[in-house]
Each structure stands twice: as C-alpha cells, then as structure tokens.
Amino acid sequence: MKSWIRWAVLHGLPRRYLTMRARDGEPLPQILMGSGAEQDPYPFGDRIREQGRLVRTSITWVTADHEVCRKILRDKNFGVSTPDTLELPRPLLRLVRATDLKLANPIEPPSMLMVDPPQHTRYRKLVAQEFTPRAIGRLHDRIVEVTDELLAGLAARRNADLIEDFAKRLPVAIICEILGVPKEEQDYMLELGHAGAPLLDVGISWRAFSRAIAALRASEEFIEGHVARLRVDPGDNILSELAVSGILTMPELKATAALIAGAGFETTVNLLGNGMVALHEHPDQLDLLRAEPDRWPGAIEEILRFGSPVQLTARTALCDTEIVGHPIARSESVTLLLGAANRDPAVFADPGAFDVTRANAREHLSFSSGVHSCLGASLARMEGAVALSALYERFPELRLAGTPERRGLVNLRGYQRIPAAPGLPAVRRTV
C-alpha cells in the first residue's frame, strides 16, 4: 500500500494530468508522456523553441534553448528538483515523506544526483578520484581488452543483437571492476540497473513503478552484501575505500554505489546503440570514419549531440531570480530539454544533419553542465570511441538484420534491441 500511495502522488496524479494536456496538443506533455515523441522527440522541442527561449506552460517552465539550458545548469540560484524544493502542497508532501521507502534510489536523496552543494560537493569529492583523466587513462587497455573479447564472441555468430551482445556488456564490465563486483555477478547488476531506469521518467505506470521498486530492493540487498564482503576483504576499487573508511553512512554508501552502477552503463549503452543506428542510417559518415579513423573522438561527440542518451532534466529556483528577462519565483521549476538544446540552430548549423566532422559538436549538453556535470563523461567517451571504432574495423560487412527497437523510455533515449548480421570478421587487429 505504501508503494502504491507513493506512485499515486509522484506518478499517478501527474500521469493523469499530463495525458489530458498531451491530448490537447501541448508539446511538453507530449514529450513527457511519449505521445508520438518516443520515435522522434525533436519536432516537439522545435515547437517549444518557436514559442520562445523560456516558455511558461500549464505545468512548469520549459526551455529548448541551448544557452538558457547551460546558464541554468551553471546558475547557483537553481538546484535539483525534489518534492521539498518544489514546495508541494502540504498534504502531498506529507504523503511523500510518509511513504519514503528508504531505498538506495539514484533519483532520490542522498544520491549525489539529487542533492545540492555543500552535500553534493562532499559526495563528489569522495568518488572524483576514480574518474580523473589519469584514472580513466589507466582503464584504456582494459576497455580494449574487453572490447576484443566481446567482438570475438560476435565473430562466432551469424546473427547477433548489438545491444545485448555488445553495447551492454562493455560498460557493465568496466563499471563492475570500478566497484569491485565479481565478473559472475555482472549480468545481475545489468538486470537491476535496467529495471530501475523507468524511474527517470515522469508519470510512469503503476506496473513500471512496482517493477522498478522491486529492482531497487534487490539492488539494495546486493549492495549491502557486497559492501559487507569488501569490508572483510577489500580490493583496489573505490567502493572498497569508501566501505572501509566509514566516511559515509550506510544509506549514503548504498546511494553512491547505486548511482555509479546505474549511471556508469546507462549512458554508454545508449551512446553505443544510438551511434550504431546513426552510422547505419548515414553510411557516408561511416565510410569517412573508416577512411580517417582519427576522426572517431569527434564522431562520438556528434553521436552524443545528435541522439542525446539523456533527453531532459529539471532545476528548481532556490530564490526569486530572472532568466532571459523572465522572472522565476522561488520553488518554480524549469524543465531543460537537453536533447532539443543539442539541436538548437542558434548553436549548431543544420542541426538535424548527422556530421562527424562538425567542429563544435562537443558543445552538446548530453553530459549536463555545472556542478552536476557527468562525472563519468571521459569514461563514456573513451568506451564509445574504442568500442565503435573496433566494431566497424573488425566487421567491415556488418549490417542490420531487422528494425532496431527503442527502449520505450522518454528520458534515457536508446535502443532495446539492434538485430545484426556481423558478417565475416577482418583480420584481427593488433593493439
């Protein structure tokens, strides 16, 4: 009953209202509810941008403007959006607090994703050492090794699913090593992470919510057991250091581990899947990369811009403030359409074109900006460049063997399945 009440307040009531507004043709509710936006959300973002740089809707403020998004993400007058910062009506806020499930949820405090400085600063400093350029650089050889192992597995298949057999496997292997999770438990970690992904959407169904909560409970039990093992037998990984040091409370430690695990592979899985489909649909760009492989790092930036793995986020005004001439009152929220901002024609020429030579592709907001910029951005970029360049080098005859299937999520935009026929592999590359 507690879970159902929580769903009703956080998702059920918003779902009913958003569905009505979507039927009335409002673009933001259409995006949030996937009303025609699941396959292509960008025309809806264009409609919002045509209304102004910052638009007041029946729900919230919204922007698809690149400059406005970046400004708000970096503005200390804005913080993360939670029931407390939004100042929900007292009866609803009391229900939210009374139904707190006390789970290690990456999208609820004390997750680093959902707290502001100074609490956020404290958490981030504790894990930042694992994601410095030097630390990421040390992972390069391991990323190459895992990639080659996965490609060897593809070579033995006449038909494959590039998501299940490749895109999922690389990032989960690397993030599990960062967290000290044994190889035999990687599949379980992957399953739990994907099951909780719908919680980043707004107005999800009770069925999706209940499945996600069940996954969070299982994940919490796993993390507690894993932390207990690391305290007895610590390894050379960030979670061992945090577990042994005792610097974090158990709820903080579980939330940090859950966030690293989920964020560590969700973005990269979508990056790889979106990239493979974009290159399939633009063979001239793939031919260019094969002829000039030094362009792969730039191509990863264009993939991130063209098909942002994370489509939106929200910020709440911490005080009365003003953005591009619009007064924003304390506790009012702004929905930032990151994917649409990445196609802002004021910043990116011919934004609907996929161009791996685009000079300013790195200006995308797919990794957010400001204090909440993605800690693992460098890792995701490296995994993307290594994995995709190796895939197309190893399998020059790679082709899709069916229509790619979307995940059916709004915020984490990617593919559930990409059927493919790898073809005969080229001579194994040397590293």
For 301-329, the pLDDT digits (tens) are 999 999 999 999 999 999 999 999 999 99
The sign of the torsion formed by the CA atoms of 252, 253, 258, 259 equals positive
Burial of 312 (0-12, 13-18, 19+ CB in 10 A): buried
CA 83 vs. chain centroid, Å, equals 21
Phi then psi for 412, rounded to 5 degrees? Answer: -85, 90
Evaluate if residue 353 carries a pLDDT over 70: yes
* Residues 384 and 300: beta-carbon distance below 8 Å: yes
> Whole-angstrom Cα distance, residue 148 to residue 217?
34
Q: What is the pLDDT of residue 154?
A: 94
Predicted TM-score (pTM) above 0.75: yes
> On the CB side of 318, how many CA atoms lie within 13 Å of its CA?
11
The winner for highest mean pLDDT among 36-50, 235-249, 262-276, 340-354 is 340-354
Evaluate if residue 195 carries a pLDDT over 80: no
Q: What is the pLDDT of residue 38?
A: 64
Q: Alpha helix (H) ranges present in 282-376?
A: 283-291, 296-306, 338-341
* Residues 400 and 316: beta-carbon distance below 8 Å: no
* Residues 357 and 298: beta-carbon distance below 8 Å: yes
Evaluate if residue 428 carries a pLDDT over 60: no
- Interval 113-139: pLDDT, tens: 999 999 999 999 999 988 888 888 889
* Residues 415 and 406: beta-carbon distance below 8 Å: yes
Helix (H, G, I), strand (E, B) or coil at 323: strand
> Whole-angstrom Cα distance, residue 366 to residue 307?
9
Rounded alpha-carbon distances, angstroms, from residue 337 to 8, 68, 408: 25, 10, 18
Strands 333-336 and 61-63 come out as parallel
Helix (H, G, I), strand (E, B) or coil at 336: strand
Evaluate if residue 339 carries a pLDDT over 70: yes
**Please, which pLDDT band fits residue 187 given cuts at 50, 70 and 90?**
confident
Amino acid at 262: G
> Whole-angstrom Cα distance, residue 305 to residue 341?
9
Q: What is the pLDDT of residue 427?
A: 59
Rounded alpha-carbon distances, angstroms, from residue 44 to 63, 159, 341, 368, 416: 12, 36, 12, 20, 23
Q: What is the pLDDT of residue 37?
A: 58
Q: What is the pLDDT of residue 431?
A: 41
> Whole-angstrom Cα distance, residue 288 to residue 278?
14
Query: Could you tell me which residue, 63 or 84, shows the higher pLDDT?
Result: 63
What tokens were used for 34?
Answer: 């996937």
Domain ranges of the chain: 2-421
Strands 55-56 and 333-336 come out as unpaired
Q: What is the pLDDT of residue 115?
A: 95
Per CATH, which fold does 2-421 belong to? Cytochrome p450 (1.10.630)
Residues linked to residue 321 through DSSP beta bridges, in sequence order: 328
Query: Could you tell me which residue, 431 or 83, shows the higher pLDDT?
Result: 83
Rounded alpha-carbon distances, angstroms, from residue 94 to 83, 84, 309, 395: 10, 10, 34, 57
Q: What is the pLDDT of residue 423?
A: 83
Q: Alpha helix (H) ranges present in 197-249?
A: 206-232, 238-245
> Whole-angstrom Cα distance, residue 306 to residue 242?
37
Residues linked to residue 327 through DSSP beta bridges, in sequence order: 322
Query: Locate tokens 């009506």: which residue?
Result: 89
